[in-house]
Amino acid sequence: MKELVGMCKCCGKEIFCLDGFFNGVITENKQTYCFDCHETSSNEEENPQS
Ligand SMILES: [Zn+2]
């Protein structure tokens, strides 16, 4: 089963749910990213202050 969940907010790549495995990341803001873009953005936006 392959279900289209959304598109990467960064690169526009389609994000699918494959047999229960989500092929990307949903942030707290309900935005979907592919793994590559999420990795990049989390590295850039990583903030040790919390
Ligand atoms: Zn992306």
Model confidence pLDDT, tens digit, residues 1-50: 899 999 999 999 999 999 989 899 999 999 999 999 999 876 766 666 65
Give the Å distance between the CA of 23 and the centre of ligand 1: 11
Give the Å distance between the CA of 32 and the centre of ligand 1: 9
Give the Å distance between the CA of 10 and the centre of ligand 1: 5
Give the Å distance between the CA of 24 and the centre of ligand 1: 9
Give the Å distance between the CA of 49 and the centre of ligand 1: 26
**Rounded to an integer, what distance in angstroms lies between the CA atom of residue 8 and that of residue 11?**
6
Handedness of CA 19, 11, 39, 45 (dihedral sign): negative
State pTM to two decimals.
0.72
CA angle in degrees (0–180, nearest 5) for 44-45-47: 120
Handedness of CA 40, 50, 9, 15 (dihedral sign): positive
E-assigned strand segments in the chain: 2-7, 14-18, 21-22, 25-26, 32-33
